Amino acid sequence: MHTFTITIHDELREADQAVVSAGHAEYEQSHGISINFRRLAFLLHDDQGTLCGALQAYTAYAEIYVEDLWVATHVRRRGYGRQLLQRLEQHVAGSGYHNINLVTNAFQAPDFYRKCGYQVEFVRVNAHNPNLTKTFFIKYLDGYIAPEIHSQ
């Protein structure tokens, strides 16, 4: 009989990530699905080469997930966050992706994402700290029509 142990790490080693990725791919292929996983990063630099903004995202299946959007304090409210989102949308236009998904906390930017055309999919209220209430957003691409959203 085998003995198994669980250990904790800050991140997966490259070799371990390769095993996990291969396992996911094998499972998905056995169901006729392709994960289509790819990381994307869009960086905003000023004319001095200083990093002033970043959008990090990944693709999975027919969707895109924004992991992080950051704009430096000294250049906020100048449209750079919107430009980073638009650059992502332009980059994936016509590539068969159905939608872009993202999550933001109440203290961050829910109104900003609404102004950028993202729809609220649902809200997870944090009764202990309302600033940490999460809003889950979606934006449909390439003519995909948003299905009626039902809460359960």
Which domains, from first to last, does the chain contain? Answer: 36-140 (3.40.630.30)
Tokens describing residue 129: 């700290």
pTM score: 0.84
**Which residues make beta-bridge pairs with 51?**
45
pLDDT tens, position by position, 74-113: 999 999 999 999 999 999 988 889 999 999 999 999 999 9
What's the CA gap between 71 and 79, in Å, rounded? 10
Q: What is the pLDDT of residues 51-60, one digit of tens each?
A: 999 999 999 9
For residue 144, the 8-state DSSP code is: P
Per-residue pLDDT band for 36 (boundaries 50, 70, 90) equals confident
From residue 82, alpha-carbon distances to 29, 78, 89, 126 in Å are: 36, 9, 11, 27
* Confidence bin at 34 (pLDDT 50/70/90): confident
